[in-house]
Each structure stands twice: as structure tokens, then as C-alpha cells.
């Protein structure tokens, strides 16, 4: 997620929210199961009877319905337009994904999140009113490539294309040095936000705190500066 998603997330209500997930493939099922596990009401929808039956037997949705989401009336009768957030998890059927998104927006659903499989798919989805378009395979692929090439970066939160907050393994070169010795800000252009100790993080550690190689630290800075760390 990035700054362009900000307005979408800012407008989401936080309470009493009900969701529907249309398309119960691997991605749709994961969204359903997580929402359900978090205690939200979630309706699972698919045109395939077996997939509908499976989410019910696996108990990963509150309700599940077999319907064709390209049919405006079917969605209306199922009460889908009354929900505030609907996730369209139909990636491979371009036409069905676009028509479903259009139906949901025309039916008055406030927040429609749709999974896209290509850039042109994304463009079309935006034209028919999708509020947020996601590329789960693309995003996971980028994350995986980063973690296998830089295994010392444990986690990364991209603030924008140029700047990130990263959790990294403290390099051996930093072992035993204090934060003041390292001069991360002047030498690397990075700010140290936290260091790990006994499975917890110390936020804003004092300048005389000593770093221990192999533990974790969290820094904020430009991607270019993060690349200069000896990790």
C-alpha cells in the first residue's frame, strides 16, 4: 500500500462493518478467513457451488451465496449493495471482474476493492469506479525478491517510492558500538527508531545504548541510504 491508497483507507469506517468477498479462489478465501477470524461479518459469494459449500464447511464466512455477480439484480436481491465494503477477488475473468465492479458501484457500494491481473485491467477497473485496486501476486513477488536478495532486511514499510522504514539485523560491524559512536544520521542519513532487546523493542533508544550484532533495529530513511548500510 502507498500514498495513493491514503484517501481510500482514511474514508473507511472502523466500526460495525460488514463485508462481502466475491470470488472464492485462494485470494478470496484468504480475505474471507482473515476477516472472519478478526470477528467481522463476511458474506462469501461465488458462481461455483462447490466453492460456496467449501467456505461454509470450513467456517471461514458468516454467510455464503452462489450467484453470478455480473447479474445486477442477483447482487441487489442478495443485499450486497447494503454492505459498505466489497472485495472483488476474480482475477482471471477480466469481463466478470469489470462488470462486477461496475455493478457494485452502480448499486451504491461505498468501498470496492478489486484484484487486478494486469495494468490494463487496473485501468479499466479505475474507469468503472473501483476505489482500490490490488495486485497480490505482484506485491508478493516484489516482497519475496527483496527478502531473498537482502535477507538481513526482516521487514519493510514503503512510505513512498523513495523512502522506507525497515527492520534490519544489526550488522556485525555495528556490534558493541553505541548509537552516538555510529552517527547513523550524519554518516548514513538514517534515523534509528528502535532496537530489539529480549524479544521486545526499545523505542527511541538513548544515544549511549550499545547495539548487539544479530539483534534487530528499525530505521527510517531513503531507500538509497538504507542500501548503504553494511548489511
| Residues found near ligand ATP in the complex (CB under 6 A) | 22-28, 46-48, 51, 68-70, 89-93, 96
Closest CA to 221 of 189, 198, 184: 189
Question: Of 32 and 184, which CB lies nearer to ligand ATP in the complex structure?
Answer: 32
Closest CA to 90 of 114, 70, 119: 114
- Shortest Å, Cβ 14 to ligand ATP: 27
Distances (CA, A) of 176 to 37, 128, 161: 43, 57, 33
Question: Of 67 and 231, which CB lies nearer to ligand ATP in the complex structure?
Answer: 67
- Shortest Å, Cβ 59 to ligand ATP: 18
Question: Of 67 and 212, which CB lies nearer to ligand ATP in the complex structure?
Answer: 67
Half-sphere exposure of 109 (CA within 13 A, CB side): 32
- Shortest Å, Cβ 70 to ligand ATP: 5
- Shortest Å, Cβ 78 to ligand ATP: 11
Question: Of 28 and 221, which CB lies nearer to ligand ATP in the complex structure?
Answer: 28
What is the spatial distance between Cα 165 and Cα 183, in angstroms, rounded to a whole number? 18
Amino acid at each position: 500500500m502507498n500514498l495513493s491508497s491514503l484517501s481510500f483507507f482514511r474514508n473507511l469506517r472502523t466500526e460495525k462493518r460488514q463485508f462481502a468477498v466475491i470470488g472464492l479462489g485462494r485470494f478470496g478465501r484468504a480475505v474471507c478467513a482473515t476477516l472472519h477470524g478478526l470477528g467481522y461479518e463476511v458474506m462469501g459469494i461465488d458462481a461455483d457451488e462447490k466453492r460456496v459449500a467449501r467456505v461454509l464447511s470450513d467456517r471461514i464466512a458468516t454467510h455464503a451465496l452462489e450467484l453470478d455477480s455480473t447479474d445486477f439484480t442477483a447482487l441487489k436481491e442478495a443485499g450486497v449493495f447494503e454492505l459498505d465494503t466489497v472485495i472483488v477477488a476474480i482475477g482471471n475473468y477480466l469481463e466478470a471482474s469489470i462488470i462486477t465492479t461496475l455493478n457494485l458501484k452502480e448499486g451504491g457500494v461505498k468501498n470496492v476493492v478489486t484484484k487486478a491481473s494486469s495494468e490494463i485491467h487496473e485501468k479499466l477497473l479505475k474507469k468503472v469506479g473501483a476505489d482500490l485496486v490490488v495486485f497480490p501476486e505482484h506485491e508478493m513477488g516484489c516482497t519475496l525478491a527483496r527478502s531473498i536478495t537482502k535477507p538481513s532486511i526482516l521487514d519493510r514499510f514503503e512510505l513512498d517510492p523513495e523512502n522506507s522504514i525497515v527492520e534490519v539485523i544489526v550488522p556485525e560491524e555495528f556490534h558493541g558500538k553505541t548509537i552516538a559512536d555510529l552517527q547513523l544520521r550524519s554518516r548514513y542519513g538514517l534515523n534509528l527508531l528502535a532496537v530489539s532487546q529480549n524479544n521486545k523493542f526499545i523505542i527511541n533508544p538513548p544515544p549511549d545504548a550499545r547495539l548487539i550484532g544479530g539483534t534487530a533495529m528499525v530505521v527510517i530513511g531513503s531507500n538509497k541510504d538504507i542500501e548503504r548500510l553494511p548489511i
